[in-house]
Structure 1
Amino acid sequence: MSPLDAFWHLANLFAPAWGLAALLALAIKGLWRRETRSLAWRRLWTWGGAGGSLALVAALALLGRDGKMAGYALLLAGVALPQWWLLSFRR
């Protein structure tokens, strides 16, 4: 595998986490405009993407391979929990 192939392999592994985090951050900013005025969507996206990436790595370590439904459930929790935390305990 060439370095470029390795890059695309890793990029495609983490793309669902960052894509889902972006969609959820935009939905949060669109649905709760008044409540999330102090939060930047980039902050929601960054924390959600990081949590989703960590969840994907944990799912890969626990389940042995990518693409299982339990891994996607863990991905969803990994993206949603940091964004919920930011909304619930913002300063």
Structure 2
Amino acid sequence: MTFGLLVLHLGGFVMPALAMALFMPWAGRWVLGTNARPMRRRMLVHAVSGLLVLVAGLWLHDQDGKMSTYIALVLVAATLEWVMQRGWTSK
């Protein structure tokens, strides 16, 4: 495997976590309203947790791209956004 292919594979592996990290704070703001927590901090939390979910899915299934891993990624991101937005106190 060449270096370029390795970069493409790693980029494809982390792209779902980074996409969720980019869009979840905006979706949380749209659904739950504004929050005092900074947007960049929430994006960083989503990126790190998403990467951990993808690595755990790779470790558990011995391959990446399983739907159960992506479902776990969405559930973890939504739950984290709800917690960071303090969704239980929303109107």
TM-score range relative to shorter protein:
0.7 to 0.9
Report how far residue 4 of structure 1 moved: 2.2
Structure 1 stretches of at least 4 aligned residues deviating more than 2 Å after TM superposition? 29-34, 77-88
> Which sections of structure 2, spanning at least 5 residues, go unmatched?
87-91
Structure ranking higher on relative contact order (CA contacts 8 Å, 6+ apart): 2
Cα distance in 1 for partners of 2:38, 2:30 equals 12
TM-score (norm 2): 0.79
2:85 match: secondary structure: helix
8 Å CA contact 2:28–2:82 kept in 1: the answer is no
Q: How does 1:1-91 map to 2 (within 5 A)?
A: 1-34=1-34, 36=35, 38-88=36-86
Paired residue type of 1:50: V
TM-score (norm 1): 0.79
8 Å CA contact 2:32–2:85 kept in 1: the answer is no
Paired residue type of 2:47: G
Aligned length: 87
1:13 match: secondary structure: helix
Q: Percent identity?
A: 28
Over aligned residues, Cα RMSD in angstroms? 1.9
